[in-house]
Amino acid sequence: MRLLILRPEPGASETAERAREMGLEPVVAPLFAVRPLAGPPVAAADYDAVLLTSANGARHAPAGLTGLPCFAVGERTAAAARSAGFADVRCGPSDGAAAAALMTSAGVARALHLCGRDHLGVEAPGVAIERRAVYAAEPVSHRRFTGPAVALLHSPRAAARFAELAGDRAAIAVAAISAAAAAAAGDGWAAKAVAAAPRDQALLELAAKLCNYGLQAVKDGGNGI
């Protein structure tokens, strides 16, 4: 069964490569294209740390911040931060809240969150977090998607967009990275399930079950919604 990979590049190709290694049949069809957003210079001295909740935040980070401690969500974002030049990278184990807890434990008082124009706010007790949008994910035109297929939903925004473009939902199963993404997709799909963790690998593992075993595998695994 085809596996629809809808996230923007370069993440889409990275996911596709992992999918092929798992014996899946990926079709790369990004719903959005990422572009950088210009802004005024940033003074590193105004902050104690940088918060990154996506690899794109690292790729489009303003100059002069790499000397600050970097708190990243997930290993993929942490790797992108290191590639961007951040030397002190600390990885949160699950989501933005986990990375925020690390900042609180480290005594960070002021942090700069490098994020997309469309993002979820992150709060940390005792930490003043300033948000700076450094990239935007713009919709790209697409013909309607048809099944049979399994679609990977990496965000609520992607889920809502895919729901607009999908044809017969009864012929498409969706694997969502979070409960919020699953909710944004709506109902009527052949199967709908949430990954065990908000990670690309966990999402692919769920997709493999859907591709190979269908709806029954989701029910047996307890991930159905």
Which CATH number characterizes residue 185's domain?
A: 3.40.50
- 114 shares its domain with 149: no
Q: Are 52 and 81 in contact (CB under 8 A)?
A: yes
pLDDT higher than 70, residue 109: yes
Average pLDDT over the chain reads 89
Task: Let me know how long the chain is.
Answer: 225
Boundary (domain end) residue, out of 119, 135, 151: 135
Q: How far is CA 40 from the centre of its chain?
A: 26
Residue with tokens 């949430």: 194
| Counted domains in the chain | 2
Task: Tell me whether residue 38 is in a domain.
Answer: no
The verdict on residue 196 lying in a domain is yes
Residues 56 and 128 in one domain: yes
Q: Report pLDDT for 224.
A: 38
The model carries a pTM of 0.79
The answer to whether residues 75 and 200 touch, using CB atoms and an 8 Å cutoff, is no
Please indicate, yes or no, whether residues 54 and 130 belong to a single structural domain of this protein: yes
Whole-angstrom distance, CA of residue 196 vs CA of residue 164: 26
Q: Do 213 and 185 have their domain in common? A: yes
Same domain as 127, residue 52: yes
Tens of pLDDT, residue by residue over 25-71, are 999 999 999 999 988 889 999 999 999 988 999 999 999 999 999 99
- The reply to whether 184 and 114 lie within a common domain is no
49 and 93 housed in the same domain: yes
Looking at the fold, whether 50 and 62 belong to one and the same domain comes out as: yes
Are 129 and 186 in the same domain? Answer: no
Q: In what order do the strands lie in the sheet with 32-36?
A: 32-36, 128-139, 110-116, 49-52, 70-73, 89-92
Tell me the pLDDT band of 95, cut-offs 50, 70 and 90: confident
Whether 109 is in a domain gets the answer: yes
* Residue 182 near residue 191, CB atoms below 8 Å: no
Q: Is 190 helix (H, G, I), strand (E, B) or coil?
A: coil
Specify the higher pLDDT residue, 180 or 216: 180
Looking at the fold, whether 193 and 178 belong to one and the same domain comes out as: yes
Stronger pLDDT, 44 or 215, i.e. the higher one:
44
Range of the domain at 96: 43-135
Burial 178-210 (b: 16+ CB within 10 A, else e): bebbbbbbbeebbbbbbbebbbbbebbebbbbb
